[in-house]
Amino acid sequence: MAAAARVYISIGSNVDRERYVTAALDALSGWFGELIISPVYDSEAVGFDGSPFLNLVVGVETSLSVAELSQRFKRLEADNGRRRDVPKFSARTLDLDILTYGNAVGRIDGVELPRGEILKNAFVLRPLADIAPKEVHPVCGKSYGELWREYSTGQRLWPVDFNWQGRQISSAAG
C-alpha cells in the first residue's frame, strides 16, 4: 500500500449550492474520515455570467493514487448531476478538483499538479490559505498564506454561514 499523502481538494457549486456542497462533504467524510475544512465562500462566477458559487477547500490524508481520486471525484460529480456535455464555463451542480497531492509536481494520471487555479483564483487560494497557511506551494516556493497576502486581482468573495452534520463549519462574520 502506498504511503499516505496530504491532498487538498476544491469544492464548488452554483446550482442548489448547499445541497451539493453537503453531498460532497458527506462523500469525502465517508471515504477519508476526518476532514480539514476551510470556511465556505460565496464568489462570483469567473469566466462566464452565472449565479454565484459556494467554494471551499478540504484537506484529507489518503493512500489512493491521483487516478483513483480523480475517478472517484468524477463519479461523485456525475452522481450529483454534473453534466460534461455543456461548455466548460457554465453552471454546475458540483465541481471537485485535486489542488495538490503531497508535493507532487507535473502531470500525474492526467491531472496537472499543483493545480494552476491555486495561483489564479481567489476562491481557490483563499480557502487553501485558511487551512494550510504555512504549507509551501511546491513550484513557486511560497507559503499559501504568503501567496494570499500578495494576491491582488479583482476577484471578490465573502465568507458565508454554513452548517454541516449539525455544526457550523463557516461563519459570515469571517
Task: List the catalytic residue out of 17, 42, 82, 126.
Answer: 82
| Of 140, 110, 143, 115, residue with least CA distance to 57 | 115
Task: List the catalytic residue out of 92, 115, 126, 130.
Answer: 92
Q: What SS3 state is found at 127?
A: helix
**Is 79 considered catalytic here?**
no
Task: List the catalytic residue out of 19, 72, 95, 109.
Answer: 95
Cα–Cα distance measured from residue 37 to residue 169, given in angstroms and rounded to the nearest whole number: 7
Q: How many CA atoms lie within 13 A of 174 on its CB side?
A: 4
**Is 130 considered catalytic here?**
no
**Is 97 considered catalytic here?**
yes
Residue with cell string 453537503: 22
**Is 85 considered catalytic here?**
no
Positions annotated as catalytic residues are 82, 92, 95, 97
